[in-house]
Amino acid sequence: MSPETLVPASLDAAGTPFSTEAFDQFVMTSYGRFPLALVRGAGSRVWDSEGREYLDFVAGIATCTLGHAHPAMVEAVTQQIQTLHHVSNLYYIPAQGELAQWLVEHSCADRVFFCNSGAEANEGAIKLARKYAHTVLGIQDPVILTANASFHGRTLATITATGQPKYQQNFSPLVPGFHYVPYNDFGALEAAIAQIDQAERRVAAILLEPLQGEGGVRPGDREYFQRVRQLCDEKGILLILDEVQVGMGRTGHYWGYEALGIEPDIFTSAKGLGGGIPIGATLCKAFCDVFKPGDHASTFGGNPFVCAVALSICRTLEQDNLLANVQARGEQLRAGLRAIAAQRPDQIAEVRGWGLINGLELKGDIELTSLDVVKGAIAEGLLLVPAGPKVVRFVPPLIVTAAEIDQALEILERTLAAL
Ligand SMILES: *Cc1c(COP(=O)(O)O)cnc(C)c1O
């Protein structure tokens, strides 16, 4: 399939041009959107309603694992929608069992609970940790530690877990039982636990991202995470890792915790798991049996449709050896970004990341923001997404090619030169 054959149809079959004004009249104003409507995709490329082509290094925010219109995904979607799409968890769902088996066989988890999003997966993890604290550890008032600059979702419990006041503003009262610590700082973590012990409360769990995505593409420090794991073992604290953005191969490993050389007690997945179909998962070691029938549920969670599609993503990841591509393309991208950074020390402070989640941090003492770079890149035909005011994030599909990485680097160079 050559890109030339993929000129998109108009959004509206009648030929009415897409109108952002009409859209904004009917859709709630909770998002700040870029003024373009994407209507078609193939591989790592998308087209807008005007027929313009973009290289997609956003991938639906680190979600479209196999890019757009991948044959394996198209086949799974088509086959399952024609067979059975939803029945509820009143019944056994074979595809749910198969997907859970794949996940268990490719991770440190023993069992899986399926839901529909990252926030919901983290809600499940929080409920599971609390039930374990109450029923096994005998803690009446459990505290969960999370990190500053973290991101765990937009429900009330997960904005509370998120250590960024901007997401919590005007939504109080928040959910009790959370306490924040600086990321990658073991001394501060120990001090916080001692302080909470003194107040005669108890830390039941620590919830961390292996690499902070939204908070600025900040990789976890290996030594820090290994010490946290050891401390959790000594004190009987659960270690929960939020793998919503970095799991499912994005780091060049199936799971981000593999890059840190540790295993969590509970972890969560969502974004890349369904390749863009809404699905989330809470994964846990055997103690998850504290959940009894009726304790936790989701009407849509793990339905035949999403599980069949997610299975096609998992199997393709494995069969096509995409982890090797993620590692190679990630190295190529970081090398290219570092070369650009070396040419532009006045604009760029740092390049960092793992596999195909990478960040370009702009100098703090200049006016240029990540949003300026993202807008400039869109005008040049490259989709990027900010991770905070100063970091530009690169999260292409895991099938991205060497030529596409080179093209993205060329466009970025042109964009930065024009700013
Ligand atoms: C995106 C994200 C979430 C929230 O996922 P939703 O599907 O938007 O609810 C949670 N944690 C991390 C690390 C994320 O990147």
Q: Can you tell me the distance from the alpha carbon of 270 to that of 276, in angstroms, rounded to the nearest whole number? A: 9
Q: Can you tell me the distance from the alpha carbon of 106 to that of 157, in angstroms, rounded to the nearest whole number? A: 29
Residue 280, CB-side half-sphere exposure with 13 Å CA sphere:
24
Closest ligand 1 atom to the C-alpha of 270? 7
338 with 410, same domain: the answer is yes
Residue in 271, 282, 393 to alter for ligand 1 test, most ligand atoms within 8 A of Cβ: 271
Decide which of 298, 319, 340 is a domain's last residue: 319
List the residue whose alpha carbon is closest to atom 11 of ligand 1: 152
Q: What does the pLDDT profile of the chain (419 residues) look like in tens digits?
A: 344 444 444 444 556 788 999 999 999 999 999 999 999 999 999 999 999 999 999 999 999 999 999 999 999 999 999 999 999 999 999 999 999 999 999 999 999 999 999 999 999 999 999 999 999 999 999 999 999 999 999 999 999 999 999 999 999 999 999 999 999 999 999 999 999 989 889 999 999 999 999 999 999 999 999 999 999 999 999 999 999 999 999 999 999 999 999 999 999 999 999 999 999 999 999 999 999 999 999 999 999 999 999 999 999 999 999 999 999 999 999 999 999 999 999 999 999 999 999 999 999 999 999 999 999 999 999 999 999 999 999 999 999 999 999 999 999 999 999 99
Residues with a catalytic annotation lie at 151, 242, 271
Instruction: Output the CA 117–ligand 1 centroid distance in Å.
Output: 7
pLDDT confidence of residue 16: 72
Q: Decide: 244 in ligand 1 pocket, CB within 6 A.
A: yes
329 with 387, same domain: the answer is yes
287 with 387, same domain: the answer is no
Site of tokens 């190679």: 328
Closest ligand 1 atom to the C-alpha of 117? 7
Q: Can you tell me the distance from the alpha carbon of 49 to that of 287, in angstroms, rounded to the nearest whole number? A: 50
Decide which of 319, 347, 379 is a domain's last residue: 319
User: What φ, ψ does residue 343 adopt, rounded to 5°?
Assistant: -75, -20
Establish if 9 belongs to a structural domain.
Answer: no
334 with 401, same domain: the answer is yes
Contact 164/133 with Cβ under 8 angstroms? no
374 with 401, same domain: the answer is yes
The count of other CB atoms within 10 Å of the CB of residue 395 is 31
Closest ligand 1 atom to the C-alpha of 122? 10
Q: Decide: 117 in ligand 1 pocket, CB within 6 A.
A: yes
126 with 188, same domain: the answer is yes
Q: Which residues 6+ apart lie within 8 Å of 211 measured at CB?
A: 217, 218, 219, 220, 245, 246, 251, 256, 259, 353, 354, 357
Please give the residue range of the domain that contains residue 313: 72-319
Q: Can you tell me the distance from the alpha carbon of 146 to that of 359, in angstroms, rounded to the nearest whole number? A: 22
pLDDT confidence of residue 14: 58
Residue in 31, 208, 214 to alter for ligand 1 test, most ligand atoms within 8 A of Cβ: 214
Establish if 405 belongs to a structural domain.
Answer: yes
353 with 287, same domain: the answer is no
List the residue whose alpha carbon is closest to atom 10 of ligand 1: 152
Closest ligand 1 atom to the C-alpha of 61? 1
Run of H or E residues at 219 = strand 218-219
Run of H or E residues at 326 = helix 322-343
User: What φ, ψ does residue 184 adopt, rounded to 5°?
Assistant: 65, 25
Establish if 1 belongs to a structural domain.
Answer: no
Closest ligand 1 atom to the C-alpha of 209? 13
Establish if 2 belongs to a structural domain.
Answer: no
Q: Decide: 267 in ligand 1 pocket, CB within 6 A.
A: no
Look up the pTM and report it: 0.96
151 with 224, same domain: the answer is yes
Contact 317/140 with Cβ under 8 angstroms? no
Task: Give the per-residue SS3 of 273-302.
Answer: HHECECCEEEEECHHHHHCCCCCCCCCCCC
Decide which of 319, 339, 374 is a domain's last residue: 319
Establish if 6 belongs to a structural domain.
Answer: no
Establish if 161 belongs to a structural domain.
Answer: yes
User: What φ, ψ does residue 180 adopt, rounded to 5°?
Assistant: -110, 145
Q: Decide: 276 in ligand 1 pocket, CB within 6 A.
A: no
For residue 367, what is the domain's CATH number? 3.90.1150.10
pLDDT confidence of residue 15: 63
Q: Decide: 45 in ligand 1 pocket, CB within 6 A.
A: no
Instruction: Output the CA 215–ligand 1 centroid distance in Å.
Output: 12
Please tell me whether the peptide bond between 173 and the residue prior to it is cis, using omega within 30 degrees of 0.
yes
pLDDT confidence of residue 11: 46
Establish if 243 belongs to a structural domain.
Answer: yes
172 with 37, same domain: the answer is no
Establish if 147 belongs to a structural domain.
Answer: yes
Residue in 244, 267, 277 to alter for ligand 1 test, most ligand atoms within 8 A of Cβ: 244
Q: Which residues 6+ apart lie within 8 Å of 146 measured at CB?
A: 152, 161, 162, 163, 178, 179, 180, 181, 206, 207, 208
User: What total of structural domains would you count in the chain?
Assistant: 2
132 with 148, same domain: the answer is yes
Buried b (16+ CB within 10 A) or exposed e, 242-277: bbbbbbbbbbbbbbbbbbbebbbbbbbbbbbbbbbb
Residue in 114, 126, 152, 156 to alter for ligand 1 test, most ligand atoms within 8 A of Cβ: 152
Q: Decide: 243 in ligand 1 pocket, CB within 6 A.
A: no
238 with 91, same domain: the answer is yes
For residue 105, what is the domain's CATH number? 3.40.640.10
Q: Determine how β-strand 266-269 pairs with β-strand 238-242.
A: parallel
24 with 166, same domain: the answer is no
Instruction: Output the CA 2–ligand 1 centroid distance in Å.
Output: 34
Contact 246/213 with Cβ under 8 angstroms? yes
Task: Give the per-residue SS3 of 78-101.
Answer: HHHHCCCCCCCCCCCCHHHHHHHH
